[in-house]
Amino acid sequence: MKNMKTEPKELKDRQVMDSNGEEIGRIREIEQEMRTGRYSTLHVEVDARHTQKVGLSGLHHLPLNASDMVMDKDSIRLSQTIESLNSQFTDKITVRKAHLSQRDLIDKSVTDRNKTPIGIVKDVRTTSDNGEFTTILVELNQDTKKRMSLENIDCVRIKMDRVEEVGKEIKLDRQVEELSREWSEIILHR
């Protein structure tokens, strides 16, 4: 991101506009790579009033590459129009050859391979330019946070290829201990 301030708290709740000045929403959280300290992705809470007219309705979250944005005094401006963003994102999610939507995953309980409760899905994320959904954002339950010594972490990302089954709950193909090693790679600033 050009002209990026170094503190994530300075970015939180900033307005995000497309290249034509159309309001998209506000920054909800920032991903920072632990190894490099670079901001990789800004997660935008979509403002439905402004996005339904161009087809982004149904998406309440957009992950946007920090390198495609410029920060000015009061807002963040994208290098693309809202119409071009719309063409990048799809509501189809593939899990073990099943085709699902975000609504099939949001607010469902997540368990590990041994049926140990982990938390609740709060969002489905895409980190790819083609709009393919690659991760779920899971709000950890208190038992998991305590058992895994993650008291200061509220949410973690779990790769979509870790999802074994989606039914009344979401079952993962790994134990929580195996998954926790992956959780330490990205810092989420909320």
Do 151 and 176 lie in one domain? The reply is yes
Cα→Cα distances 182→83, 169, 190, Å: 34, 22, 19
**% pLDDT > 70, the chain:** 72
In total, how many domains does the chain have? 2
Residues 10 and 24: their CA atoms lie apart, in Å, by: 19
Task: Kindly report the CATH number assigned to the domain that includes residue 33.
Answer: 2.30.30.240
The answer to whether 12 and 190 have CB atoms below 8 angstroms apart is: yes
Tell me what pLDDT residue 70 has.
83
Tell me what pLDDT residue 184 has.
61
65, part of any domain? yes
Do 143 and 69 lie in one domain? The reply is no
The answer to whether 41 and 32 have CB atoms below 8 angstroms apart is: no
Do 102 and 64 lie in one domain? The reply is no
Tell me what pLDDT residue 168 has.
93
Tell me what pLDDT residue 118 has.
96
Do 49 and 75 lie in one domain? The reply is yes
- Taking only Cα atoms into account, the Rg of the chain, rounded to an integer number of angstroms, comes to 17
Q: Which residues of the chain have pLDDT under 50?
A: 3, 5-6, 57, 190
1, part of any domain? no
Do 77 and 106 lie in one domain? The reply is no
Do 111 and 184 lie in one domain? The reply is yes
Do 99 and 184 lie in one domain? The reply is yes
Position 103, amino acid = R
23: containing domain: 8-88
Tell me what pLDDT residue 3 has.
46
The pTM of the whole model exceeds 0.75? no
